[in-house]
Chains A and B, each alone.
Chain A
Amino acid sequence: MANEQQTSQGVQTTGHVWDGDLQEFNNPLPVWWTYGFYATIVFALVYWFYYPSWPVGSGFLKGMGSETYVNAQGEEESWHWNTRAKLLRETQEAAAQQKPWFDKIASLPYEQVTKDAELSSFVQSAGRALFSDNCAGCHQTGGAGKIGHYPNLADDNWIYGGSFDKIHETIAQGRHGYMPPYAEALDAAQVDALAHYVLSLGGEQADAAKAAQGKDLFHSHAAACYYCHGNDAKGRMDIGSANLTDKVWLWADVPGAADTAGKVAAVRKVIAGGLDSGVMPAWEGRLSEEQIRVLTLYVHELGGGK
Chain B
Amino acid sequence: MFKFKHESLETNTGLLLVGTMLAISIGGLVEIAPLFLIDDTMEKVDGVRPYTPLEQRGRDIYIREGCYTCHSQMIRPFRDEQLRYGHYSLAAESKYDHPFQWGSKRTGPDLARVGGKYSNEWHVQHLIQPKSVVPESVMPNYPWLIETPLDYSDVGARMRALRTVGVPYSTTQAEYDQNVKEFGAEVAVQLHIPDAQRNLVKQAQEGNFDGDRSSISEMDALVAYLQVLGTMVDFSKVAPEDLVKFR
Q: Do A and B come from one complex?
A: yes
What residues of chain A have their CB less than 8 Å away from a CB belonging to chain B? 1, 52, 55, 57-60, 69, 71-72, 77, 79, 82-88, 90-91, 94, 133-134, 137-138, 146, 149, 277, 279-282, 285-286
B143 interface contact, C-beta 8 A = no
Chain B residues lying within 8 Å of A281, measured Cβ to Cβ, are 116-119
Which of B18-26, B99-107, B239-247 participates in binding chain A?
B239-247
Q: Determine whether the beta carbon of B88 is less than 8 Å from that of A84.
A: yes
Q: Determine whether the beta carbon of A279 is less than 8 Å from that of B116.
A: no
Quote the shortest CB–CB distance from A281 to chain B (angstroms). 6
Chain A residues lying within 8 Å of B244, measured Cβ to Cβ, are 69, 79, 82, 84-85, 88
Chain A residues lying within 8 Å of B30, measured Cβ to Cβ, are 55
Q: Determine whether the beta carbon of A286 is less than 8 Å from that of B117.
A: yes
Quote the shortest CB–CB distance from A201 to chain B (angstroms). 27
Chain B CB within 10 A, most for which of A71, A84, A133: A84
Q: Determine whether the beta carbon of A88 is less than 8 Å from that of B241.
A: yes
Q: Determine whether the beta carbon of B133 is less than 8 Å from that of A146.
A: yes
Docked CA distance A82–B76 (Å): 12
Interface string of B77-95 (1 = CB under 8 A from A): 1110011101010000000
Considering the complex of A and B, which 4 residue pairs feature the smallest CB-CB distances, nearest first? A55-B34, A279-B119, A82-B247, A277-B121
Interface residues of B, count at CB 8 A: 38
B151 interface contact, C-beta 8 A = no
Chain B residues lying within 8 Å of A72, measured Cβ to Cβ, are 239-241
Docked CA distance A56–B111 (Å): 35
Chain A residues lying within 8 Å of B39, measured Cβ to Cβ, are 58-59
Quote the shortest CB–CB distance from A128 to chain B (angstroms). 13
B152 interface contact, C-beta 8 A = no
Chain B residues lying within 8 Å of A88, measured Cβ to Cβ, are 240-241, 244
A-side interface mostly: mixed
B211 interface contact, C-beta 8 A = yes
Chain A residues lying within 8 Å of B247, measured Cβ to Cβ, are 52, 82-85
Q: Determine whether the beta carbon of A91 is less than 8 Å from that of B37.
A: no
Chain A residues lying within 8 Å of B125, measured Cβ to Cβ, are 149
Interface string of B100-135 (1 = CB under 8 A from A): 000000000000000011111110011000000110
Docked CA distance A281–B121 (Å): 11
Chain A residues lying within 8 Å of B245, measured Cβ to Cβ, are 79
* Of A1, A87, A279, the contact of B121 (CB 8 Å cutoff): A279
Q: Determine whether the beta carbon of B38 is less than 8 Å from that of A286.
A: no
Chain B residues lying within 8 Å of A286, measured Cβ to Cβ, are 86, 116-117
Q: Determine whether the beta carbon of B37 is less than 8 Å from that of A77.
A: no
CB contacts under 8 Å to A, within B33-89, are: 33-34, 37-40, 76-79, 82-84, 86, 88
B186 interface contact, C-beta 8 A = no
Docked CA distance A281–B243 (Å): 28
B206 interface contact, C-beta 8 A = no
Quote the shortest CB–CB distance from B12 to chain A (angstroms). 14
- Closest Cβ neighbor of A83 among chain B residues: B77
Quote the shortest CB–CB distance from A282 to chain B (angstroms). 8
Apart from A82-B247, A134-B117, A137-B133: 13 A-B pairs, beta carbons within 8 A: A1-B7, A55-B30, A59-B38, A72-B239, A72-B241, A84-B77, A86-B77, A87-B77, A87-B79, A90-B79, A133-B83, A281-B118, A286-B117
Q: Determine whether the beta carbon of B243 is less than 8 Å from that of A84.
A: yes
Docked CA distance A91–B38 (Å): 28
B236 interface contact, C-beta 8 A = yes
Quote the shortest CB–CB distance from A87 to chain B (angstroms). 4
Q: Given A1-B7, A277-B119, does the pair A77, B34 have CB atoms closer than 8 Å?
A: no
Q: Determine whether the beta carbon of B236 is less than 8 Å from that of A285.
A: yes
Chain A residues lying within 8 Å of B117, measured Cβ to Cβ, are 134, 281, 286
Docked CA distance A286–B85 (Å): 10
Q: List 9 A-B contacts (CB under 8 A).
A: A55-B38, A57-B37, A84-B247, A133-B83, A138-B119, A138-B133, A279-B119, A279-B121, A281-B119
Docked CA distance A60–B246 (Å): 12
Quote the shortest CB–CB distance from B107 to chain A (angstroms). 16
Chain A residues lying within 8 Å of B240, measured Cβ to Cβ, are 72, 88
Q: Given A85-B244, A146-B133, A281-B117, does the pair A133, B7 have CB atoms closer than 8 Å?
A: no
Quote the shortest CB–CB distance from A285 to chain B (angstroms). 7
Q: Determine whether the beta carbon of A138 is less than 8 Å from that of B38.
A: no
